[in-house]
Amino acid sequence: MTRGIRVLSPQLSSQIAAGEVVERPASVVKELLENALDAGARTISIETEEGGNQKIVVADDGDGIAPDEISLALARHATSKLASIEDLDTIRTLGFRGEALASIAAVARVQLTSRSRAGSSGMRLKAENGRAGKPSPVGAPQGTVILVEDLFFNVPARRKFLKSRTTERRLIEALAARYALAYPSVRFRLVQDGRESFSSTGSGDRREVLAALFGVDAAQRMIDLSAAEMEGPVRVSGFVSPTDLSRSNRRDILLFVNGRSIADPALTTAVVQAYHTLLMVGRFPFGAVFIEMPPEDVDVNVHPAKAEVRFRSPDAVFSAVQRAVRQALLRSAGSSGVPAAAPWPTRTWATGGGSGPGPDWMLDHAPDPSGMDSANSSAGGAPVLPAGEIPLLRPVGQIGSAYLVAEGPDGLYLIDQHAAHERVLFEAMRREQTGAHVSQRLLAPEIVDLPALQASALNDQLEMLRQIGFDVEPFGGSSFRVRSVPQLLGALRPEDALRAVVEDFEEDETPLAAETEARLIARICKRAAVKAGQALGPEEQAALVRALEACASPRTCPHGRPTMIHLPMDLLARRFGRK
Ligand code: ADP
Ligand code: MG
């Protein structure tokens, strides 16, 4: 069936090349937007019909194209942005490959109208099937208008695979929003099938754009990253969601590198991990994270559509992002009227030698009743608290040996005693300086055998275990000699204590030591926390409630499950037919 080797016609080869750049209508919009931004536009308007399948128009008020260069704009590998291979290292523009317009012209009908600042009139040029006609003068305002019609009219295979108009419309909208976020000083307007579907004012205020994306309330409450301390050449700014707002997937974590919207699963994970223990399992944060770094440290030329980038030191970028987000979250949790968890001495929470996790965590002083008043005093009604915080509570009692009932200024609180205690222990243990975790020496060292997989995982984590209070050393094969265990686990047999923390080492995908440590601590706290089914006396209940109030993130346990359910007064009134 072979027909012999032949050189592809220029038209066919440019159609094939075009496929890499122009995958779908949204990719056309992306390229045109980037060109407009590169041209320094202050206002960009985008218009589409049928999700861009029929028609896409992008108009800008940027620099425009000089009359004698307009034909070049459509030529393959013609660009005004790159002159030498060295330039690639310091690229500051969004485009540089000089193939977008040529690619689009190979698979659609294109009309390009432009007037440069210097030009006395505009020029217009049409192209079809990759062939451009002769430019002719035309009256036009400064800037550029590109009209793209009948995308893939000459590539039936592609046309067949076009997604629904609705999908495409949504994609284009998301795209416009991303660029509006990255360029808050540029005014964007997107009209799809005659209706405005997105716009931004160009005021320079990112929160305004966030409001269009995530809603006004969410945008107002999003946490600003820019105040985070940063060392090194990687700068992180932007906004992320507070811990009481979340999404069911990671799609709304928007990432930008040097003004370019990118997809990077590792960096998305960096953001997600910064919320570790602050969100329920299966919930994800959202936000827009902007990374600025020297252009020579990032390679943008790895993907024809420039949707992915490669970092010279990916780990540094990863931890810069994670640190910035984590710091901002902790800062926003700490900046409230309720004191941070500091007043609770950790020894209060450590179980005494072998007495088992029990009432030892109880505090020795009675709850301070005046706390209630200070929380109440603000407005006669419910005080307004920062995201995630809880007001001071008055413990009322325990039900089912599992839940505490408490009254707050704003209604009734049901607290899961196990989850709450887990949270309290977790924060106490994390507050301790590295290496200071209280450990308990065994009377005689004990030899523990582990399954081979766990044993090799444990070998990699010995240092970490030491930091949280284990003294463990390899003892040949898959055996280990245990000399000490964290005091919180002192009630367990050394073997069980070790098992409690190595159980899911194998599935540990967390690259950062700090996060692994947090997980280990979370696991220890789970074992040590008071269980459901344990009756607690009034002082114990009060102590637990006080300790929970003092937590930085009192509403979830370290595994992300809720510690409490809040029934607001309002709801009670409504349920009782009083409202
Ligand atoms: P690249 O952006 O990689 O340079 P393109 O094919 O997207 O390649 O564009 C080719 C050239 O056309 C650009 O380098 C630029 O000089 C010019 N151009 C394209 N769009 C615009 C625009 N909206 N305003 C001004 N010049 C433009
Ligand atoms: Mg371009």
Whether 575 is covered by a domain: the verdict is: no
pLDDT confidence of residue 368: 31
More confident residue, 52 or 467: 52
Residue 329 and residue 310 share a domain? yes
Q: How many domains does the chain have?
A: 3
Look up the CATH number of the domain holding residue 462: 3.30.1540.20
Minimum-distance ligand 1 atom for the alpha carbon of 112: 20
Chain segment 220-264, per-residue pLDDT in tens: 999 999 866 667 789 999 999 998 888 888 989 999 999 888 989
Determine the distance separating the centroid of ligand 1 and the alpha carbon of 77, expressed in angstroms: 11
Which range of residues forms the domain containing residue 90? 10-202
More confident residue, 556 or 383: 556
Query: In terms of DSSP bridges, do strands 439-449 and 479-486 run parallel, antiparallel, or are they unpaired?
Result: antiparallel
Question: What is the torsion angle, in degrees rounded to the nearest 10, for the CA atoms of residue 6, residue 10, residue 16 and residue 19?
Answer: 180
Please provide the average confidence, as pLDDT, over all residues in the chain: 80
Determine the distance separating the centroid of ligand 1 and the alpha carbon of 433, expressed in angstroms: 55
Residue 316 and residue 187 share a domain? no
Whether 578 is covered by a domain: the verdict is: no
Among residues 283, 303, 336, the one where a domain terminates is 336
Among residues 151, 181, 202, the one where a domain terminates is 202
Whether 250 is covered by a domain: the verdict is: yes
Residue 273 and residue 194 share a domain? no
Among residues 172, 202, 232, the one where a domain terminates is 202
pTM of the model: 0.60
pLDDT confidence of residue 377: 30
- Residue 79: nearest ligand to its CA? 1
Whether 346 is covered by a domain: the verdict is: no
- Residue 504 corresponds to which tokens in the numbers above? 């899911």
Residue 111 and residue 44 share a domain? yes
Chain segment 488-540, per-residue pLDDT in tens: 777 778 888 888 777 656 444 444 455 667 777 888 888 888 888 888 988 88
Write the residue with the smallest CA distance to atom 8 of ligand 1.
98
Q: Which amino acid is at 188?
A: F
Whether 342 is covered by a domain: the verdict is: no
Query: Can you tell me the distance from the alpha carbon of 23 to that of 498, in angstroms, rounded to the nearest whole number?
Result: 52
Residue 118 and residue 135 share a domain? yes
Look up the CATH number of the domain holding residue 95: 3.30.565.10
pLDDT confidence of residue 337: 33
| Residue of 20, 22, 35 to mutate, ligand 1, most atoms within 8 A of C-beta | 35
Average the pLDDT over each of 275-284, 310-319, 364-373 and give the range with the smallest value.
364-373
Write the residue with the smallest CA distance to atom 20 of ligand 1.
35
Write the residue with the smallest CA distance to atom 16 of ligand 1.
80
Q: How many CA atoms lie within 13 A of 146 on its CB side?
A: 29
Q: How many CA atoms lie within 13 A of 418 on its CB side?
A: 15
Whether 328 is covered by a domain: the verdict is: yes
Q: Maximum distance among all alpha carbons in the chain?
A: 94
User: Is it the case that residue 468 has pLDDT exceeding 90?
Assistant: no
**Residue 553: which of 380, 333, 256, 233 has the closest Cα?**
333
Whether 416 is covered by a domain: the verdict is: yes
**Residue 368: which of 546, 538, 554 has the closest Cα?**
546
- Residue 395 corresponds to which tokens in the numbers above? 């413990």
Residue 171 and residue 48 share a domain? yes
Determine the distance separating the centroid of ligand 2 and the alpha carbon of 101, expressed in angstroms: 7
CB-based contacts of 330, cutoff 8 Å, min separation 6? 552
**Residue 52: which of 76, 77, 19, 23 has the closest Cα?**
23
Residue 150 and residue 18 share a domain? yes
Residue 514 and residue 385 share a domain? yes
pLDDT confidence of residue 376: 29
Residue 221 and residue 189 share a domain? no
**Residue 349: which of 169, 487, 210, 550 has the closest Cα?**
487
pLDDT confidence of residue 406: 93
Most confident listed range (101-110, 296-305, 433-442): 101-110
**Residue 485: which of 290, 396, 388, 353 has the closest Cα?**
353
Minimum-distance ligand 1 atom for the alpha carbon of 60: 23
Q: What is the mean pLDDT of residues 94-101?
A: 80
User: Is it the case that residue 17 has pLDDT exceeding 80?
Assistant: no
pLDDT confidence of residue 338: 34
Helices 10-21, 100-107: axis angle to 10 degrees equals 110
Most confident listed range (84-88, 199-203, 387-391, 513-517): 199-203
Q: How many CA atoms lie within 13 A of 404 on its CB side?
A: 32
Percent of the chain with pLDDT over 90: 35
Whether 341 is covered by a domain: the verdict is: no
**Residue 186: which of 205, 214, 213, 210 has the closest Cα?**
205
Determine the distance separating the centroid of ligand 2 and the alpha carbon of 29, expressed in angstroms: 11
pLDDT confidence of residue 20: 66
C-alpha pair distances (Å), 174 with each of 142, 177, 209: 28, 5, 12
Minimum-distance ligand 1 atom for the alpha carbon of 78: 10
pLDDT confidence of residue 361: 28
Residue 402 and residue 329 share a domain? no
Determine the distance separating the centroid of ligand 1 and the alpha carbon of 80, expressed in angstroms: 7
Answer for the pair 560, 283: CB distance below 8 angstroms, yes or no: yes
- Residue 101: nearest ligand to its CA? 1
Residue 324 and residue 451 share a domain? no
Residue 460 and residue 363 share a domain? yes
User: Is it the case that residue 375 has pLDDT exceeding 50?
Assistant: no
Determine the distance separating the centroid of ligand 1 and the alpha carbon of 93, expressed in angstroms: 10
pLDDT confidence of residue 2: 60
